[in-house]
């Protein structure tokens, strides 16, 4: 299986009836942002929400593209990092959008990574009881995961993404050229989400990644750019198909949380800090989910080891031993798991696997087995 060579952007449709929208994937697409928005919503104004780091690299290009299409803009720049998914920054963003007289017929542009997409999308869902918005994801993780599917949120003191809303964008514009400026660690964290789609439901794609992951990382103006765009498009198609069938996560969409039950607990234990990026937490969580599945006799140990080996090969953490600074007690981690959004009637939902590409949702996991498993992993620190 090789990546197809293509010069034109790839387009993936998220089929949600009257609320359907396109994910457009390719190099240099920010230049077309204004024309695409004008075609969708003529004469609308736009509030661009971004962070300090992204603004330095990409805000001028986005504003120029909108100006070329005759679209009036304002921008809201927030601090970079997970700390911006807070009530304080959410309030500031909402007030700035309102102060700029952005009307219900106008829209918000989320220009940034997952934090900005979540924050700007949630602001759009609430200001004037709902504004439309466009996602322009600037990290690999956002391009393959958080920009697609309409989940928006900020964090609570009790855990990640606990305050939010489902609010679908009208367009996702994934310009793969912006990934050229992404630090390697950030790119690697995004790759964890690509691996997730393969591990949860596409064994052939996982085999392709084992062979081609270096080209995905290489990207740029080379043969690697085709591998990168192929990996992004396959990931987006996988997510779009699941979202179309289960928009509000009442069933199948929970599969997209592979690695997240363990991962969110690890992320919260690290204070949502640079000690552990979200994608790194997902990678560690997936490794734990596969190891736990094998421990429970749900899948062959060799398959779990293969999945974990690939994550380690690309440089991602695969457990507590790879997380700097140490972690709290098993009791604390179990408390954090108990705060997960997927808890039902006090029982956490785990995404486990019967093999590579064969994940499933499990709500009846014995918590003492989880506690013992985590205790062993913490002892390896």
- 287 phi, psi to nearest 5 deg: -60, -40
The string of pLDDT tens digits covering residues 157-193 is: 887 889 999 999 999 999 999 999 899 999 999 999 9
Q: Which of 300, 311, 305, 296 is nearest to 355 (CA)?
A: 300
Among the ranges given (6-10, 41-45, 176-180, 375-379), the one the predictor scored with the smallest mean pLDDT: 6-10
Long-range Cβ pairs for the range 325-332 (8 Å, 24+): 325/270, 325/275, 326/381, 327/266, 327/269, 327/270, 327/378, 327/381, 328/269, 329/378, 330/371, 330/374, 330/375, 330/378, 332/269
Q: Which of 357, 142, 144, 117 is nearest to 236 (CA)?
A: 144
Superfamily of domain 258-381: Dehydroquinate synthase-like - alpha domain (1.20.1090.10)
Catalytic residues: 129, 151, 193, 239, 249, 253, 257, 260, 264, 278
Sorted by where each begins, the domain ranges of the chain are: 1-247, 258-381
The string of pLDDT tens digits covering residues 233-261 is: 999 999 999 999 999 988 899 999 999 99
Name the burial class of residue 379, with classes exposed (0-12), middle (13-18) and buried (19+) by CB atoms within 10 angstroms of its CB. exposed
Give the C-alpha separation, 136 to 172, whole Å.
6
Give the C-alpha separation, 285 to 308, whole Å.
10
The string of pLDDT tens digits covering residues 33-55 is: 999 999 999 999 999 999 999 99
Note the pLDDT of residue 280.
98
Band (pLDDT 50/70/90 cuts) for residue 222 is low
Give the C-alpha separation, 33 to 333, whole Å.
43
1-247 folds as: Rossmann fold (3.40.50)
Note the pLDDT of residue 341.
59
Give the C-alpha separation, 264 to 153, whole Å.
14
Residue 101: how many other CB atoms lie within 10 Å = 10
Give the C-alpha separation, 30 to 174, whole Å.
8
């Amino acid at each position: 299986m090789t990546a197809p060579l293509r010069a034109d952007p790839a387009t993936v449709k998220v089929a949600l009836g009257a609320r359907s929208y396109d994910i457009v994937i390719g190099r240099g697409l920010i230049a077309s942002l204004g024309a695409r928005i004008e075609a969708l919503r003529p004469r609308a104004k736009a509030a661009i929400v971004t962070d300090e780091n992204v603004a330095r690299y990409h805000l001028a290009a986005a504003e120029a593209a909108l100006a070329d299409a005759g679209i009036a803009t304002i921008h809201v720049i927030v601090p970079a990092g997970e700390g911006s998914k807070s009530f304080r920054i959410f309030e500031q963003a909402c007030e700035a959008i309102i102060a700029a007289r952005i009307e219900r017929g106008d829209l918000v542009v989320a220009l940034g990574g997952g934090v900005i997409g979540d924050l700007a999308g949630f602001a759009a869902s609430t200001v004037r009881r709902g504004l439309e918005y466009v996602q322009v994801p600037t990290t690999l993780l956002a391009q393959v995961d958080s920009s697609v599917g309409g989940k928006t949120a900020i964090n609570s003191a009790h855990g990640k993404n606990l305050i939010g809303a489902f609010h679908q964008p009208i367009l996702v514009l994934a310009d793969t050229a912006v990934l050229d400026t992404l630090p390697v660690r950030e790119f690697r964290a995004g790759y964890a989400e690509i691996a997730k789609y393969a591990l949860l439901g596409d064994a052939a794609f996982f085999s392709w990644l084992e062979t081609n992951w270096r080209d995905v990382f290489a990207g740029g103006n080379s043969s690697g750019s085709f591998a990168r765009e192929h990996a992004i498009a396959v990931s987006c198609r996988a997510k779009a198909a699941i979202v179309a069938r289960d928009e509000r996560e009442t069933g199948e969409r929970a599969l997209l949380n592979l690695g997240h039950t363990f991962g969110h607990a690890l992320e919260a234990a690290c204070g949502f800090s640079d000690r552990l990026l979200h994608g790194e937490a997902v990678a560690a969580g997936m490794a734990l989910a596969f190891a736990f599945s094998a421990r429970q006799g749900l899948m062959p140990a060799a398959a779990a080891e293969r999945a974990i080996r690939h994550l380690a090969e690309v440089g991602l953490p695969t457990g507590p031993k790879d997380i700097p600074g140490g972690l709290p007690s098993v009791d604390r981690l179990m408390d954090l798991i108990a705060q997960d959004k997927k808890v039902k009637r006090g029982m956490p939902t785990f995404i486990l696997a019967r093999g590579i590409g064969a994940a499933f949702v499990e709500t009846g996991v014995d918590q003492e087995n989880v506690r013992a498993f985590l205790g062993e992993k913490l002892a390896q620190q």
